[in-house]
Structure 1
Amino acid sequence: MATVNQATSPTAGGYRAVFRVREFRAVFAAHLLSVLGIVVAEIALTVLVFRTTGSPLMSALTFALGFLPYALGGTLLAGIADRRPARRVLVGCDLVCAACAASMVLPGTPVAGLLALRCAMAFVAPLFQGTRNASLADILGPGDAFVLGRSLMRMVAQSAQLIGFGLGGLLLTVLAPRAAIALTAAGFLCSALLLRFGTRARPARAGAGADRTSPLAGLRAVLGDRRLRVLTLLFWLPPVFVIAPEALLVPYADGIGAGTAALGVMMCALPVGTIAGELWAGSALGPRTRSRLVAPLAAAGMLPLLVYAVRPGVVTVLAALLLAGLAHAYTLGLDQWYVDAVPDELRGRAMTLLSTGLMTLQGVGMALAGLAAEFLPVHGVVTGAAVLGTAVVLLLLAELRSANRREGGPKDETGPTAK
């Protein structure tokens, strides 16, 4: 059984109570450094590759390579998250990324080498994220403090998309691309030091020989349980549809005659709504209320996007995207359901696969939205995504209710009981 940090057992105090835990402060600071480092590296590397090759395709491929190895790395490496001590895994992943970034800085590194190093960083990313998320339950306990800690990590990732690209662009006005990438390497080294000296050594959750027979053993263990499978799909599938308006914002804005300033504001609307929704749910609501809101918020989350059916203007689109983002507050309650449903010895693999599927399927959703927009009007694609996404969520909630009743969980939609 995971060790619970007694300092976090009371749920009063919200986010401030979580920050009172010394180990969490170290993990949070390390997360902030690594996320900003990755965003800056993506921009700088894209610029570097374009300046070297003069090819828009190679420049775009640099961004794509941040996603492509993700599924492979998450599937093949998931078992390590439980078979090795968490601190050792986290520090090792940071050092790998620091070494890759440092190698990118070398003047003689060819473009193929730069892309291979980017792939290597993306390959270990899901292992790092899954191990870190699983270790939060050891540091904060598996209760409400864990939910708030996960929420803070998500908000940092969302904020990095808003702040990091601007910061990266600003850095590139005063630094060469390789110098900016050197800052990324330094950030990963600082993250490794924070995790090594700011967190406590804990033993691996599973035996060293557990699930070594197949890299897919963790995937089978997670998806083989009916209730855990439905909860995983509730994380994975809604973003496939919610990503559609973001993926198609540029052609939609062009179609309604919106300028670049309006496009920039619209691109910020969904992440801003998401951050605001999480802050509201984490600060103003208790665990029981958040649990009760999972089903209604998840079911209604994509309904604001139906306004796309009338091809609305900028203000209406902003409102719809903000509302869709606010509904993302349901993930706090869903986090609690998930950690309650996952056995301790499987937590690292489950969290690694969870983040792997989430990242991979968002990429799939963007590609599918773009493909559909080749044949259908953009506003029709977004409307269709909202309809299909809502239907999928309703089916998953019905399946979850059925699984809860069959496996002894509660008979309403307040979530599964702990195993």
Structure 2
Amino acid sequence: MAGAARYREVFAVGEFRALLASHLLSIIGDQLARVALAVLVFDRTGSPALAALTFALTLVPELIGGPLLAGIGDRRPRRAVMIGCDLARAALVAFMAVPGLSLWLLGALLVAVQLVGSPFKAARAAILPEVLAGDRFEVGTSVLFTSLQIGMLCGYGAGAPLVAWLGTGWALLIDAGTFAASAVVVAAGVGPHPPVRTDPAKPVPLGGFRETAALVWRDRRLRYLVAMASLVGFYAAPTGLAVPYAAQIGAGTAAAGLLLAALPAGSALGAVLLTRLVDPERRRALLGPLAVATCAALLPMGLAPGLAVAVGLCALCGLLSGHDSVSVATFTRTVPAANRGQAYGLALAVLRAAQGVGIALSGVLAEVTTPSTAIAVFAAIGTAAGCGVAVGWQRARSATVAGTTG
């Protein structure tokens, strides 16, 4: 059995280096856009609710763009899709920097930017297995996953001071520049990667979506991998309840930042350790147990422990959730090449929906109980659901192995 690929093998691939650079530039751009627009809206209106709504608008479009627009990357040269999306985002964000635009127009532009990002991400996800063979693909996926977590962690901390220093207009122009730079990097460093599909005339949004959804549903492995990703709806509860939990334990609002940072920090480390220390086949066997453990790690939060213990539990939950990078890699590799872009968009939309619904419902429960109780209840439900997903995933894996070796 082949051992784990090394990072130097992955970084030796020029196209991967270009994809990673583009990924990092996109993260910087996304974070700057979120913070700058939230600050701009708050400065104009003085309304925390509208500022929060502006931030939420950056997540909602993936629910639509993921399933419907991601298939564009399966029917057009994927490099061209990435470049076109980057240039479109650069133009839209640059337009946002025009002084005096109405808040309604800014909101519409923000939604458009996020919608255009869906086919970009799908095309990149579809290219990755073509440039990284064998276990290098899983390690490369882990690098992108870790970069995203670190980017979110740093973005939350550095985005606001940068916007305060430069002003929202300049921050948005820099944001537009990151997307333009990403387009240049992709054009220079990534091959064309023509589409695999032979039916480009089929309507992309509905025809391709129905076909891909049916494909994911029929394949038990894909179905359980999507279900596994959806468990984030249960262990994301501390993200939505960080501020009220900090208030419950008397730690103050500032302590909520530590709770928020603990999850992505632990997740980044977990993805690195899993791909660095565990061989490929063992990783996939561990997906089920790790999915259960990720939710179970939050059960002690029901006791409303102090800040240090709570941060430790959130970090442990994040560390165990590092298996998500392996789930994404396994899902992408399992989907036929002709459907990879749209399947990735569909899975991402399901994940975002689960995350949003979970956070919202945990907040409702916290209203009638306490934040610590709500987190623990969702952790318990997630643990039980995770057990079912783990059993189903193991059976699907065993059936596939038996079918290929029998």
TM-score tier by shorter-chain length is over 0.9
Q: Which residue of 2 aligns with 1:389?
A: 382
Q: Which residue of 2 aligns with 1:130?
A: 122
The code of the aligned residue for 1:226 comes to R
Question: For residues 79-99 of structure 1, what are the alpha-carbon distances to aligned partners after superposition, in whole Å with 9 as ceiling and x for unaligned?
Answer: 212111110111111111111
Structure 1 CA distance for aligned equivalents of residues 325 and 100 of structure 2: 46
Q: Does 1:289 align with 2:282?
A: yes
Q: Which residue of 1 aligns with 2:97?
A: 105
Structure 1 CA distance for aligned equivalents of residues 58 and 13 of structure 2: 32
* Mapping of residues 191-340 of structure 1, within 5 Å: 191-207=182-198, 208-210=200-202, 212=204, 214=207, 216-217=209-210, 218-235=212-229, 237-340=230-333
Q: Which residue of 2 aligns with 1:7?
A: none
TM-score between the two structures when normalised by the length of structure 2 = 0.93
Structure 2 CA distance for aligned equivalents of residues 190 and 11 of structure 1: 36
Q: Which residue of 1 aligns with 2:81?
A: 89
The code of the aligned residue for 2:386 comes to V
The CA deviation at 1:322 is 1.7
Q: Report the structure, 1 or 2, having the larger helix content.
A: 2
Structure 1 CA distance for aligned equivalents of residues 391 and 265 of structure 2: 30
CA 1:185–1:394 in 2, change beyond 3 Å: closer, same or farther?
same
Count of residues paired in the alignment: 401
CA 1:204–1:100 in 2, change beyond 3 Å: closer, same or farther?
same
The code of the aligned residue for 1:321 comes to C
Structure 1 CA distance for aligned equivalents of residues 46 and 84 of structure 2: 35
Contact residue 127 and residue 193 of structure 2 kept, 8 A = no
Q: Which runs of 5+ in 2 are unaligned?
A: none
Question: For residues 373-398 of structure 1, what are the alpha-carbon distances to aligned partners after superposition, in whole Å with 9 as ceiling and x for unaligned?
Answer: 12222111111111110111111122
Q: Does 1:71 align with 2:70?
A: no
The code of the aligned residue for 1:52 comes to R
Cα-Cα RMSD: 2.1
CA 1:340–1:169 in 2, change beyond 3 Å: closer, same or farther?
closer
Q: Which residue of 1 aligns with 2:148?
A: 157
The CA deviation at 1:104 is 0.4
Structure 2 CA distance for aligned equivalents of residues 192 and 183 of structure 1: 14
What is the DSSP-based 3-state SS (H/G/I as helix, E as strand, rest coil) of the residue aligned with 1:131?
Answer: helix
The code of the aligned residue for 2:311 comes to L
CA 1:376–1:65 in 2, change beyond 3 Å: closer, same or farther?
same
Q: Which runs of 5+ in 1 are unaligned?
A: 1-9
CA 1:160–1:417 in 2, change beyond 3 Å: closer, same or farther?
farther
The CA deviation at 1:61 is 1.8
What is the DSSP-based 3-state SS (H/G/I as helix, E as strand, rest coil) of the residue aligned with 1:410?
Answer: helix
The CA deviation at 1:33 is 0.8
The CA deviation at 1:211 is 6.1
Structure 2 CA distance for aligned equivalents of residues 288 and 403 of structure 1: 14
The CA deviation at 1:145 is 1.1
Structure 1 CA distance for aligned equivalents of residues 87 and 353 of structure 2: 24
TM-score between the two structures when normalised by the length of structure 1 = 0.90
* Mapping of residues 37-56 of structure 1, within 5 Å: 37-56=29-48
Contact residue 77 and residue 215 of structure 1 kept, 8 A = no
What is the DSSP-based 3-state SS (H/G/I as helix, E as strand, rest coil) of the residue aligned with 2:369?
Answer: coil
